[in-house]
Amino acid sequence: GAGVSQSPSNKVTEKGKDVELRCDPISGHTALYWYRQSLGQGLEFLIYFQGNSAPDKSGLPSDRFSAERTGGSVSTLTIQRTQQEDSAVYLCASRVFKGVAGGGYTFGSGTRLTVV
Amino acid sequence: AQKVTQAQTEISVVEKEDVTLDCVYETRDTTYYLFWYKQPPSGELVFLIRRNSFDEQNEISGRYSWNFQKSTSSFNFTITASQVVDSAVYFCALSETFSGGYNKLIFGAGTRLAVHP
């Protein structure tokens, strides 16, 4: 597609339930990132995928968070047993390839997650 | 460790005033990129500029200008003759190379700019 697509745009879930957030990157972009933006805060790195390499999961806040990227394209961020502090906007970004000169980062519109 | 500091949490100006948003960064890399993004109330991140660490030339784009100074590790952003539509949160970000040869963006906390008519 023309841009990075994220779904759903909004998700309200009950505390303790699992949620899945989806990111469809720009075709041909091998690098994919997930960020989290809590209310009034900056963007916090969560996880990075590059081609078939092992992902960098160093930003995942707890083992309730996991992500996968199937076929080097679509990625799913899963949060298990959601807590109220998980409420945030989850942003996905993609870029052409790794390396400092690997093109600009294109962000999706995000998924606003509210845990009630 | 790499870090981006935007000391100004909120700035409020009246339309047509000039405003400068400060950004200071820390990195051990010699090759890196600096970015500015705008996040309007609608929430999407809008790319404004990317600057290579080897290019210290200032840049002007319409009412926007950027001043990159490696000596002070700063990459400040000035809006001239501000308009109400400039109201947004502005993020400065640093992209550098990590082991494995990949990059990720490290964001500052953002500066919320409110431009009043």
With an 8 Å Cβ cutoff, are B104 and A33 in contact? yes
Return the minimum-mean-pLDDT range out of A18-22, A27-31, B20-24: A27-31
Question: With contact defined as beta carbons under 8 Å apart, do B83 and B15 qualify?
Answer: yes
pLDDT greater than 60 at residue A25:
yes
The neighbouring-strand residues paired with A6 are A23
Q: How confident is the model at residue A33 (pLDDT cuts 50, 70, 90)?
A: very high
Kindly give the parts of chain B with pLDDT less than 50.
none
CB contact under 8 Å between A56 and B32, yes or no, is no
Q: B25 and B73 in contact (C-beta within 8 Å)?
A: yes
Q: What part of B 5-64 touches A (C-beta under 8 Å)? A: 31-33, 35, 37, 43-45, 47, 50
For residues A97 and A50, which has the higher predicted lDDT (pLDDT)? A50
Each residue's pLDDT tens digit, A52-96: 788 889 899 999 999 999 887 899 999 999 999 999 999 999 987
Indicate the residue type of B60: I
Binary contact (B101, A99; C-beta < 8 A): yes
Q: How confident is the model at residue A1 (pLDDT cuts 50, 70, 90)?
A: low
Residue A103 C-alpha, separation from nearest chain B C-alpha, in angstroms: 10
Does A7 have pLDDT greater than 90?
A: yes
> Which residues are bridge partners to B4 per DSSP?
B25
- pLDDT, position A71: 80
Query: Can the peptide bond before residue A8 be classed as cis, meaning omega within 30 degrees of 0?
Result: yes
**DSSP assignment string, B50-112:** EEETT----EEETTEEEEEEGGGTEEEEEESS--GGG-EEEEEEEEEE-TTS-EEEEE---EE
Residue B38: what pLDDT?
94
Query: CB-based contact (8 Å) between B103 and chain A?
Result: yes
Nearest CA among B26, B103, B89 for reference residue A89: B89
Q: How far apart are the first and last CA of chain A?
A: 33
Contact assessment for residue B98 and residue B104, using Cβ atoms and an 8 Å cutoff: yes
What is the predicted pLDDT for the residue at B100? 60
